[in-house]
Structure 1
Amino acid sequence: MKSLKDMGKDELTQLKAELEKSFEDAKGKGLKLDMSRGKPSVSQLDMVMDIMDTLNSSSKLLTEGGVDCRNYGVLDGIPEAKKLMADIMEVSPDQVIVNGNASLNIMYDTVARSMTHGVLGSTPWAKLDKVKFLCPVPGYDRHFAITELFGIEMINVPMTVNGPDMDMVEELVTKDESIKGIWCVPKYSNPQGITYSDETVKRFARLKPAAKDFRIFWDNAYAIHHLYDNDQATLLDIIGECEKAGNPDMVYEFASTSKVSFAGSGISAVAASKANLDYIRKFMTIQTIGHDKINQLRHVRYFKDINGVMAHMKRHADIMRPKFEAVIKVLENELGGLEIGSWLAPKGGYFISFEAMNGCAKDIIAKCKEAGIVMTNAGATYPYGKDPFDSNIRIAPSFPTPDEMQQAAVLFTLCVKLVSVNKLLKS
């Protein structure tokens, strides 16, 4: 296709009229499609309904070690659940604490604990004049919301195809003691679907932070969310790499089964060094009597082991893959060569990241809403909701059906073209 940037004013004006007519026709269809969050579809949730039959009144709710899951005890997770979550994160069970239904909750607690009581004996962050976090962008809005809530200053770090700009990370972390952490979604990142390269992981592990209480918040949310059997991204074990580099305490790794079993009703876990886990346990003894062991047992009995989990995830991939491919195909067919947008085709995860022309994202989202498509707000993938380029748009293909996703993608590209033409005519 001819680049829109090569068109003259008359060509653009004629194209604008054609696009506006197509847009009005699309509005007349009365579409109502929600692509605002990475929610599992109904078919994905239906697929795991028989987890509810795993335990019943005749079940013996005992762990292999004889612990009665109906009663108090076992603060940091039953051994079978530790093993299951450790295998998902590719770490050792003794590096894992199993928590409740959401890893977001663990991340929030980890920041809150650091604010009120510090990290392994350091000064509580709330008593410091300034606390900063590095935020790879575009990134996950809920990460940014946590740090913003606690008044932590967020610094944008651009993403590359290999992960965050590590030259920038190393320079900032080494020189500024007020930088206490960095948010990372290292595998099939939210929203770009990028997996950190081996060299990026090793550079993280070799960091020499000015702050002794600096921590990497390694949110490995999509560790097993592959789209393709024969083309899966691999990720180095950050905990092992930190140990090799002499920085065993520098990382917290988080994961959950929220998009594996039931969203919001799965189990979650944090993996870290013994010192970090012992420190966390000290607070857990006061914070909780223990998390839901019956739900932990339900997940273990249902999936049995990592092989059962991976077989289940192949079924997830069969549902997700056609939706992602429908979006990518439409983007290529409708926008390829026009030079008004770019995107990556992810191998896993839950999102597709679209980069529009600078200054166009908000208008594109508004046009989509006018036509009946609800999407994540422009700017949501940046701290404070402020995309400095007004260009990034997160597409969440998981919830609609493949047919709905194809319709939505066509309408999305129509909005991209219309807003881009307007932008070019003004310039």
Structure 2
Amino acid sequence: MSRDELSDLLEEQQSLHAELKARGGKLDITRGKPSPRQLDLSRELLSITVPVHAADGQDVRNYGGAKGLPEIRAIFADLLGVDVDHILAADNSSLSIMHDLLSYAMLHRIHGATEPWGRQEIKFIAPVPGYDRHFAICEHLGIEMVPVEMGEHGPDMDEVEALAADPSVKGMWVVPMYANPDGVIYDEETARRLVSMPAAPDFRIWWDNAYALHHLTDAQPRPLPILQMAQQAGHPDRVFEFASTSKITFAGDGVAFLASSTGNLDWYLSHAGIRSIGPDKVNQLRHATYLKDAEGVRALMRRHRELLAPKFAIVEKILGNRLGGTGVARWTHPSGGYFVTLDVLDGTASRVVALAKEAGIALTPAGASHPLHRDPHDRTIRLAPSFPSEGELAAAMDGVATCVLVAAAEKLLG
């Protein structure tokens, strides 16, 4: 566009933005929360009757059972493709397990370490864009993060391998299936390089399979057998794998899972046993009774897809209609997960978020997808379509498109 055309566009979009502000709306697409309709899919959990004793005879009302109930572990061992002896079930949050594991490693010597990580200057590899809550754990514990750009099938592995050769690099965050926020699926080659590459003896991969079952299309890849891959590569202790029912049943009242080598699980339980005298086994049995088996989980996830897929289609349609062909934005087209990544004109993401706030649209803060909230390009915005109704989402996305165009025109005229 010429400067005159850009000025006309800016005036037009500023007028639309003023209308949004005048309406005084309140729309929130900040976090990937299940909608009330999704939560209602598992409403039966609120009234289901469960027996007093689990299949192995233990009284679920009492203390103990640190590894969790065999029946719920068996369901998710099947879903994740791991041996049931290599998975444990905990309370509702896999993020809690991640935090605890990292805290234990900081305070106590993990396998292969000469001393606790807290006595060393250590680093974590952080693929970007990535999950803000992963990065927050490292930030909270004072761990330096080294960003690596994501590609089509995972992060730049040449760079990852070069970084991992540094003995001070002790870990790496990975969301292997429908990565948060750009929907990337790690391929087998990337996974095998991760478990095979030279690294410190106490190097660990935090393999967060939060979205392994959250498909939006008929193409539904199975989770990679990462624990077996690590075993075959001669590094059986390299991977901590996580999953939960947080976006399957109730987000705040589910069951979380940790899968790893026997040595890693024994090490974790030796410290978790100080923190707690066993998980919530009543809730675990409730979930096992309700879900029944792996196919029961898959059937429930198909019902989630019926609610989620139309929302992602709304995002795609509005962004395409409003921003397609402009050259000032590009976005991901995920086949699963909970997010869409919107990349706007460099240097304008913060402005877009601010304009959206003025218009009553809450977006995830610019930079949230990068360590310490520092996006060097100020371009990436995470969109979370799941929680609002379809009408609210359409209004929010139309408003976001207006804000993108205002910010872009301002910059280009700058």
Q: Which residue of 2 aligns with 1:71?
A: 62
Counterpart-to-counterpart distance in 1, 2:363 and 2:12: 24
Deviations 1:54-96 (A, max 9, x none): 22xxx52211121111122211101101112212322111110
Q: What CA distance in whole angstroms lies between the structure 2 residues aligned with 1:138 and 1:197?
A: 18
Q: Does 1:42 align with 2:36?
A: yes
Corresponding position of 1:24 = 18
Shift of 1:29: 2.3
Give the TM-score normalised by structure 2. Answer: 0.98
- 1:155 is displaced (CA, Å) by 0.5
Q: Aligned partner of 1:214: which letter?
A: F
* Match of residue 185 from structure 1: 175
Give deviations 1:301-339, integer Å, cap 9, x for gaps: 000011111101111111111111100111111111110
Partner of 2:141: 150
Shift of 1:285: 2.5
CA offsets per residue over residues 349-370 of structure 1, 9 Å max, x none?
A: 1100011111000000001111
1:201 match: 191
Shift of 1:262: 0.7
CA distance in 1 between partners of 2:343 and 2:173 (Å): 21
Matched, 1:309 2:297: yes
C-alpha distance in structure 1 between counterparts of 2:411 and 2:223, whole Å: 40
**SS of structure 1 residue aligned to 2:247:** coil
Aligned to 1:4: none
* Range that drifts further, 81-90 or 383-392: 81-90
Corresponding position of 2:213: 224
Which string of whole-angstrom CA distances, capped at 9 and with x for unpartnered residues, describes residues 147-175 of structure 1? 1111111100100011111110001101x
The CA deviation at 1:51 is: 1.0
Q: Distance in 1 between matches of 2:274 and 2:39?
A: 35
Query: Are 2:21 and 2:358, in contact at CA under 8 Å, matched by a contact in 1?
Result: yes
Instruction: State the match for 2:361 in structure 1.
Output: 373
Q: Percent identity of the aligned residues?
A: 46
Distance 2:329 2:222 in 1: 28
TM-score normalised to structure 1 length: 0.95
1:96 has 2:87 as partner: yes
Q: How does 1:27-426 map to 2 (within 5 A)?
A: 27-55=21-49, 59-120=50-111, 122=113, 123-128=115-120, 130-174=121-165, 176-209=166-199, 211-228=200-217, 230-426=218-414
CA distance in 1, matches of 2:65, 2:362: 43
Partner deviation per Cα, 1:258-281 (whole Å, 9 max, x = no partner): 111111210001000111111112
- For structure 1, which runs of at least 5 residues remain unmatched after alignment? 1-6
Distance in structure 1 (CA, Å) of the matches to 2:185 and 2:109:
31
Per-residue Cα deviation, 1:178-211 (whole angstroms, up to 9, x for no partner): 00000011101100011101111111121110x1
The total of aligned residue pairs comes to: 413
Task: Note the alpha carbon deviations across 1:75-126, whole angstroms, 9 max, x for none.
Answer: 1101101112212322111110111110000000110010000212621011
Aligned partners of 1:338, 1:60: CA distance in 2, in Å? 60
1:29 alignment partner AA: R
CA–CA separation in structure 1 for the residues paired with 2:130 and 2:221:
19
| Structure 2, unpaired ranges of 5+ | none
d(CA) in 2 for partners of 1:71, 1:172 = 46
Give the AA of the match of 1:183.
W
Q: CA deviation at 1:419?
A: 0.5
CA-based RMSD of the aligned residues comes to 1.1
User: Conserved in 2, the CA contact under 8 Å of 1:195 and 1:233?
Assistant: no
2: CA distance, partners of 1:286 / 1:369: 44
Q: What is the identity, as a one-letter code, of the residue corresponding to 2:190? A: T
1:197 corresponds to which letter in structure 2? D
Contact 1:140–1:381, Cα closer than 8 Å, also in 2: yes
Matches of 2:188 and 2:24 in 1, distance apart? 47
Separation in 2 of the partners of 1:194 and 1:61? Answer: 42
Bigger drift between 269-278 and 61-70 goes to 61-70
